[in-house]
Structure 1
Amino acid sequence: MSTELAWPEPVTRVQQLSDSGIRVIPDRYVKNPEDQPGAAASDGPNIPVIDMEGLSSGDAEVRRRTAALINEACREWGFFQVTNHGVSPELMERCREAWREFFQLPLAEKQRYANSPATYEGYGSRLGVEKGVPLDWNDYFFLYFLPIGIKDENKWPTLPVGIRELAAEYSREVVELCGKLMKILSRNLGLKEDYLLEAFGGEEELGACMRVNYYPKCPQPDRTLGLSSHSDPGGMTLLYSDENVFGLQVRRGDTWITVKPQPNTFIVNLGDQLQILSNDNYKSVEHRVIVNSAKERVSLAYFYNPKGDKVIKPAEELVSPEQPLRCSPTTYNDYRLYVRKKGLHGKTQLESL
């Protein structure tokens, strides 16, 4: 991965802007009129909520129905929520609140972990290195967990006390859940159970990383976005969101639907690499984040990705005269370099394949 990427301008922390008491956001955060969220927002239906307990039921019909619900959500929505997923609710809450505390630390402490676009690991406030592009209203902390060789605990914060241990325990449980979901998706596609996992490089080589998003209060939430519209470039994302402050919106046709997170659930969304592997049977769907004038918001996004140099292409079993090859082969390293340079731009990268 290139190490020559650098921020084109001094980095401004959005939290500092919010805390300064400004009433008008700087021009660089103002989105183009067609991208501003006000008129396009819709409450609409919620994304599917699926109880994973049904997958371990003693009743074969219950197991079949639960798997079918996941299959339908992957084909029709690209998004769904899971309950009874096996990750400790107490751990989820403790981890999120530890990160909330991190963002309330003095700026000098957070700046110790300031990141660069070479890897994005650490404390950041922008994506992409294009000069003068509209920026998103958020700060974040990005860290790597897998493969083992890439993890550098020196880049993990030490404050608040215990945050490293919490983040590691949370990572282990979420990665295990991702592995379970990958097996279900493989079977639903008619592939062998470990097909998708092996396509990612197997347990020893796949990638796993977390981005903790901090969305400060915004005096003009109708003019900007916490995250611009995009589909996730990787494999699968598990989002633990703040159920008290809505922010995630999913594109459904020409409408943006505001997701209503349920307590102790993960929002699962498929990334571009799974759309490629499934030969477009499964969809990675555009989504974005709106911000709030009265409340901050914290979310934990966990990314489960292919090994960087693994060639990703549609499964041969899913290519036929009726459904010909939909995408050209790529590697995840090549694919994500586009995002590291350009930032978030809808589904333009996937469409180029």
Structure 2
Amino acid sequence: MAAISNAEDQVSFSSSNNFSVQELVKQPIKTIPQHYVRLDHRQPVRSAPYGGRPSQMLPVIDMNQLVSGKDFDVELEKLHSTCKDWGFFQLVNHGVNSSILEKVKQEVEKFYELPLEEKMKYKIREGEAEGEGYGTMERDGGKFDWADRFFMTINPIHRRKPHLFPELPSSFRNALETYILEMQNLGKKLLCLMAKALKIDEKEMMEYFDDGMQSLRMTYYPPCPQPELVMGITPHSDSSLITIVHQLNGVDGLYVYKDGVWFPVSFLPNALVVNVGDNLEIFSNGVYRSIEHKVVPNAEKERLSVGFFINPKFDVGVGPSRSLISPQNPPLFKRVSLEQYVKGFFSQKLNVKSYLQHMRIHDNGEDNSA
């Protein structure tokens, strides 16, 4: 069993987010470097809630039933209640071709098999506030995630960083382009269905997000000899409207926080996991809930995942749906530009749901919206 190390020279540590955990574990390690020890998040994990398997607790939504099923109204109500009560669900029969998912898996695996100097061509650059590029993210207190990740804005296309997506190997780039189109189509269907469930005009929802800000995060979580001491990704809620997660290699590690307990998510075969982000909680004026989640690495196996994040348009800003606001249902959140929201969110260093609380209108009615 590995011990906690206090020696700062155990690794070639870089505070510029350029250190690779993947490189660290290529040789067996006897100690967990102190940069990664995260005893502040050792909250209880429930292994078998209410006598059942944990995977049974995360709701399952069938896209077939929502698109053409005879039980559409029942499934739509299930989607609505799931977004209100859980903010997280597994999506089956989602319509994304398995060959597209397999190709992305192969290309992400090939990327992480590259020599470090090749991956470092895409490194996070100094002053990059949103952390775009390849690297390991630093959190509050100088602690680092036990993960290497490659994060990029991919839409609108003119916002793609010229040294990132355009410079990827052609096979990788082509696989991602196909995958992105599938995620965009799936995300549009889901958000329009959510608008219907919320009784919002579909046009208003489309005007809010269609061709809006979208990003992609491909993450490699190396095995860790003492996973209870580290954090694959810090507990947080996403800033997005919705996030679609594809777990690439069948290794679990995602946990969601509900009713004071961390529930492990065991992905169903061929399922995608979808979660409500802070932006959708704001847009729904608090009807839907973003939920805190984290990743814990596996003791023996690597885990790879791709997260696709769908956000509003830059020119419409962030705020509650105007059709949901009335004297009887006043706005619970401020209205700000997306640029202001993104800068504020990333300034919080992924600190649980703190920025969502910052967006709330206080009891005195204070609102800093434009």
TM above 0.5, one fold?
A: yes
CA contact (8 A) 1:50 1:80 kept: yes
CA contact (8 A) 1:221 1:293 kept: yes
Name the counterpart of 2:23: 16
| CA distance in structure 2 between the aligned counterparts of 1:9 and 1:123, rounded to whole angstroms | 12
- Residue 157 of structure 1, CA deviation: 7.6
Going from structure 1 to structure 2, the CA distance change for 1:19 and 1:244 (only over 3 Å counts) comes to: same
| CA distance in structure 1 between the aligned counterparts of 2:203 and 2:150, rounded to whole angstroms | 31
Secondary structure of the residue that 2:149 maps to in structure 1? strand
CA contact (8 A) 1:218 1:294 kept: yes
Identify unmatched segments of 5+ residues in structure 2. 1-13, 360-370
Secondary structure of the residue that 1:72 maps to in structure 2? helix
Name the counterpart of 2:59: 48
Name the counterpart of 1:124: 135
Secondary structure of the residue that 2:100 maps to in structure 1? helix
Question: Match for 1:107 among 95, 116, 120?
Answer: 116
| CA distance in structure 2 between the aligned counterparts of 1:324 and 1:53, rounded to whole angstroms | 36
What amino acid maps onto 1:341 in structure 2? S
| CA distance in structure 1 between the aligned counterparts of 2:168 and 2:83, rounded to whole angstroms | 38
Name the counterpart of 1:139: 148
What amino acid maps onto 1:349 in structure 2? Y
Question: Match for 1:255 among 253, 261, 265?
Answer: 261
Going from structure 1 to structure 2, the CA distance change for 1:321 and 1:82 (only over 3 Å counts) comes to: same
CA contact (8 A) 2:246 2:273 kept: yes
CA contact (8 A) 2:227 2:298 kept: yes
Going from structure 1 to structure 2, the CA distance change for 1:85 and 1:153 (only over 3 Å counts) comes to: farther
After TM superposition, list the pairs within 5 Å mapping 1:142-181 onto structure 2: 142-152=151-161, 154-156=163-165, 162-181=171-190
What amino acid maps onto 1:173 in structure 2? E
For the aligned residue pairs, the C-alpha RMSD in angstroms reads: 2.1
Q: Which deviations, in whole Å up to 9, do the C-alpha atoms of 1:175-216 show, x marking residues without a partner? A: 11101111001110011113222123x33xx01111001100
How many residues were matched structurally? 338
| CA distance in structure 2 between the aligned counterparts of 1:222 and 1:28, rounded to whole angstroms | 14
Q: Which deviations, in whole Å up to 9, do the C-alpha atoms of 1:14-40 show, x marking residues without a partner? A: 11112232122111211134x125x43
Going from structure 1 to structure 2, the CA distance change for 1:63 and 1:103 (only over 3 Å counts) comes to: same
State whether structure 2 residue 288 is matched by structure 1 residue 315: no
Going from structure 1 to structure 2, the CA distance change for 1:309 and 1:193 (only over 3 Å counts) comes to: closer
Identify unmatched segments of 5+ residues in structure 1. 1-6
Name the counterpart of 2:34: 27
The percent of aligned pairs where both chains have the same amino acid is 34
Name the counterpart of 1:268: 274
Q: Which deviations, in whole Å up to 9, do the C-alpha atoms of 1:313-344 show, x marking residues without a partner? A: 11233234554321111233222223433321
Higher relative contact order (CA 8 A, sep 6+): 1
Q: Which deviations, in whole Å up to 9, do the C-alpha atoms of 1:128-159 show, x marking residues without a partner? A: 6x6x4322110011122211212346413867
| CA distance in structure 1 between the aligned counterparts of 2:257 and 2:69, rounded to whole angstroms | 36
Normalised to the residue count of structure 1, the TM-score between the two structures is 0.89
